[in-house]
Structure 1
Amino acid sequence: MTKVQVLRYFSLWNQSVAALMRQLEPDIYHCMDYHAALAPLYLPEKPIPMILVLHNADYMGVIETDFINDRFWKTTSTMRRLSLVFNLRIRAIRKYVLFEGRFNMLKAGVAYIKEMQNGHGVCAVSANYAAELKRERMLFRGLPNILPLDNATDPADDQGTGTKELKKRRYAAKAALQKRCSLNEDPGAKILIFIGRWVKQKGVDHIAMLTEEILRSQQNVQMVLAGPPDDPFGLYAQEMLVPLKVKFEGRLFVCTEFFCLEKELRRGAHLCFTPSCSEPFGYVDVEFGLLGVPSVGCAIGGLGKMPGVYFRQQNADSPHMLLEAFHCAVDYALDMPDEEYWQMAKAATRAEFPFIIWKENLKEAYHLALTHFKDAATVVVTACT
């Protein structure tokens, strides 16, 4: 899609959501991220309370309009063009969707909540991520708080399982995983695993840069790395890892496309890589942890909630520091005494993220939004043309 088509798509999407709300008349609008954050602007006749849940604030719906190759765009001012595409007044475009000189859809939701609810109603998917956004992102300056809505999940099937049973399941799953990924059948091998999108946010470039060093220095280590490259850093990781498949045949499995690994086979891993440079909540560490597979990675955002070995970003602008810290964490995790490791694995299976807590936090977010919502007679949103 061209940039103009993307703008038209989101215009249609937001106006469709607004039309649906006009018909259904909900008590409150629960908005996920930026995608439909403009929708309340199309309801000037009846503003609605809103909560905005941030699953990943790195994606703000920023669309560069400077280099759009469109005749109408070139002959009409950018603000007027955006006004026509989104069916919003120019002053509304300036007020709600321009941030730091760029078109930014997430800004619309934040600005609306500031205006209509005194800033109450912005949420994030973990307490640590909420604090991180409030501290580090200019877009959220001036908000009274960002509420935590930690994701919930079912507890582990084998929550009360002892170490002996965990080891038994691990060895059986490891044999099946090795067979599935064409690795050498080695009961004593420690399998390090990463399955997910290959993007900078997930730290996949750091995994790629350390893979050869880890496999050379740790002869009992095998690695399973799978997922589709989704940005230049993922493509860089692919260029580094694919040639290593031949060099470390039987010890390294690399798949650069969508890869589905059965739940029971995941139990066969020794550690799960989570070196993300930004992570709102992180489900991978939970999915593997509940199976008795601890994480090794960076304690940032929502990561660090599951038992594992983590490093902290002392200087996020230094790739060398991040790489060295990750390498140290991996070495420490691999050299842990067996008893300490299995206590950590058992603790991971006992982690809980109850739905009742998530439900109560969500009800609190709704209550705050409704309580602070200003009556339409007090504040009128005049956004539509």
Structure 2
Amino acid sequence: MLPCPWAYVHLGKPHHIHARTPSKAAPWSKTGGLGDVIGSLPIALAERGHRVMVVIPRYDDYEDTLDTGVKVELLGHSTIAYFHKRHKGVDFVFVDHPSYKRPAGLYADAKGPYGDNQFRFTLLCLAACEAPLNLPLESAEGGSKTVYGQDITFLANDWHGSLVPVYLAGKYRPHGVYMNARSILAIHNLRHQGVFPPHTFHELGLPDNWYGAVEWQYPPHQRQGSYAEEGRSMNHLKAGITTADRLLTVSPGYSTEITTFLGGWGLEGLLASRASVLSGIVNGIDEDEWNPETDPHLPTNYSAADFKAGKAANKAALQQELGLPVDPDVPLLAFIGRLDFQKGADLVLQVAPWLMSQKVQLVCLGTGTPDLEAGLRWLEATYPQQARGWVGFNVAMSHKMTAAADILLMPSRFEPCGLNQLYAMRYGTVDRAVR
């Protein structure tokens, strides 16, 4: 339920939550913290008695999902199909369309963001709106099949899901649909706003009088390139912020930061005007998945009682697995995250020569921009006895690194909350951030 899309919560007696995420959900698709949240929060809500649906793209032909046989035509020309998997009391619904099958990456390839991303996530938002109306699912294990219906709460996440509250207000309610539904927009990273040329408004399937909801004038200092030179654009996140009933961020501090010039990325004025419905809730972690006592990915499980021995055993195992000298006295540093400017991966590479002179070992795991991926390969090639750069994302390796490392590096230039720090504390690993 979350990151990029929504959750539906029934406002009546039992609560029904339809969570839809346009981007990702662990374990099926994941590139970072958003996928973790989508994979764990809905389950926690279901355990509290809510009926929860998560809607995400079918990025691959997942073998454990079943075709529901339900197809819906959207935008007048695109037919989507729904696949389903009930997992830990949650209805995970996968939207099937050819535009989602991109082996190079979920949002982008080496050349940059996909040119049809607006279409892909517009389709996802509409599919999320249609799912509660058209998709009969079991209300409990072995129960009769019913649709979720209209009295629900949508939880949308980031720009990818921001059109959900807009569609509720501009497309459905004028026809008497979703009159009692409510919408919540969760902002995980304000930097990514879903900005597109204004002439593509007709691709959204909204009435003409709703152009103002998505219209955006760039601040002068942010204008660069083509349509942005005049400051005119469409901004999906701005539209969601304007129309959602409630706004959430992933920490109280970030909810304040985004209303300031330094943290608002041009939307600080709009967010400040909606401060009465803006809240910050600290991210949480899945304590079953991230538990050093039971973690199946670790060579040696451990608890607070034997954490020193457990950490040492996992450190030695990781050093051996990665071909580094096995030395308990050498500080082992780790970086796990997206390779981009915000996460500060370039800062790690800049200080790498100095770090290597301090006789430490450094292990990095992540995927992102081509130049930073090349930087990880350079790091390993230049310091083969001290460094490893793993380009890609590997769940098992992220767990092993968190358990084995003495220090987790968090060089983010800004961080809305940060799940990796929480994982590190859970595993007895010191995290170091920048100021």
* TM interval, short-chain normalised: 0.5 to 0.7
Cross-structure match for 1:42: 171
* Cα deviation 1:126-171 (Å, max 9, x = unaligned): 1111111123322413013421122222555569724xx2221122
User: Are residues 87 and 289 of structure 1, via their aligned partners in 2, closer, same or farther at CA, if it must alter by over 3 Å?
Assistant: same
Within-5 A mapping of 1:56-95: 56-64=189-197, 78=199, 81-83=200-202, 85-95=203-213
CA distance in 2, matches of 1:54, 1:211: 33
CA distance in 1, matches of 2:282, 2:355: 34
CA distance in 1, matches of 2:156, 2:127: 14
CA distance in 2, matches of 1:169, 1:225: 21
Asked if structure 2 preserves the Cα contact closer than 8 Å seen for 1:129 and 1:280, the reply is yes
Cross-structure match for 2:184: 51
1:111 to 234, 242, 247: 242
Cross-structure match for 2:385: 250
Given the alignment of the two structures, is residue 28 of structure 1 paired with residue 153 of structure 2, yes or no? yes
CA distance in 2, matches of 1:226, 1:171: 20
Within-5 A mapping of 1:254-273: 254-259=389-394, 260-261=396-397, 263-264=399-400, 266-273=402-409
Given the alignment of the two structures, is residue 98 of structure 1 paired with residue 216 of structure 2, yes or no? yes
Structure whose residues are more often helix by fraction = 1
Cross-structure match for 1:140: 271
CA distance in 1, matches of 2:398, 2:182: 42
Could you state the TM-score of these two structures normalised by the residue count of structure 1?
A: 0.63
User: Are residues 10 and 268 of structure 1, via their aligned partners in 2, closer, same or farther at CA, if it must alter by over 3 Å?
Assistant: closer
* Cα deviation 1:314-370 (Å, max 9, x = unaligned): xxxxxxxxxxxxxxxxxxxxxxxxxxxxxxxxxxxxxxxxxxxxxxxxxxxxxxxxx
Deviation (angstroms), 1:91 = 2.6
Given the alignment of the two structures, is residue 176 of structure 1 paired with residue 306 of structure 2, yes or no? no
Any gaps of 5 or more consecutive residues in structure 2?
A: 1-98, 100-112, 135-148, 219-231, 294-301
The structure with higher relative contact order (CA 8 Å, sep 6+) is 1
* Deviates most, 8-17 or 264-273: 8-17
Within-5 A mapping of 1:215-294: 215-216=356-357, 218-219=358-359, 221-228=360-367, 230-231=368-369, 235-259=370-394, 260-261=396-397, 263-264=399-400, 266-294=402-430
Cross-structure match for 2:333: 192
Cross-structure match for 1:297: 433
CA distance in 1, matches of 2:283, 2:205: 35
Structure whose residues are more often strand by fraction = 2
Identity %: 22
CA distance in 2, matches of 1:13, 1:288: 33
Asked if structure 1 preserves the Cα contact closer than 8 Å seen for 2:201 and 2:234, the reply is no
Cross-structure match for 1:149: 281
Cross-structure match for 2:66: none
Deviation (angstroms), 1:102 = 1.7
CA distance in 2, matches of 1:268, 1:194: 12
Deviation (angstroms), 1:98 = 3.3
* Cα deviation 1:58-85 (Å, max 9, x = unaligned): 21111246xxxxxxxxxxxx2xx522x2
* Cα deviation 1:25-44 (Å, max 9, x = unaligned): 03322222222322323212
Cross-structure match for 2:9: none
CA distance in 1, matches of 2:331, 2:121: 46
CA distance in 2, matches of 1:252, 1:295: 19
Cross-structure match for 1:122: 247
Q: Which amino acid aligns with 1:224?
A: V
Q: Secondary structure at the match of 1:243?
A: helix
User: Are residues 15 and 160 of structure 1, via their aligned partners in 2, closer, same or farther at CA, if it must alter by over 3 Å?
Assistant: closer
The CA RMSD measured in Å over matched residues stands at: 2.6
Q: Which amino acid aligns with 1:38?
A: L
CA distance in 1, matches of 2:340, 2:318: 25
CA distance in 2, matches of 1:9, 1:267: 37
Within-5 A mapping of 1:300-319: 312=435
User: Are residues 214 and 265 of structure 1, via their aligned partners in 2, closer, same or farther at CA, if it must alter by over 3 Å?
Assistant: closer
CA distance in 1, matches of 2:318, 2:292: 20
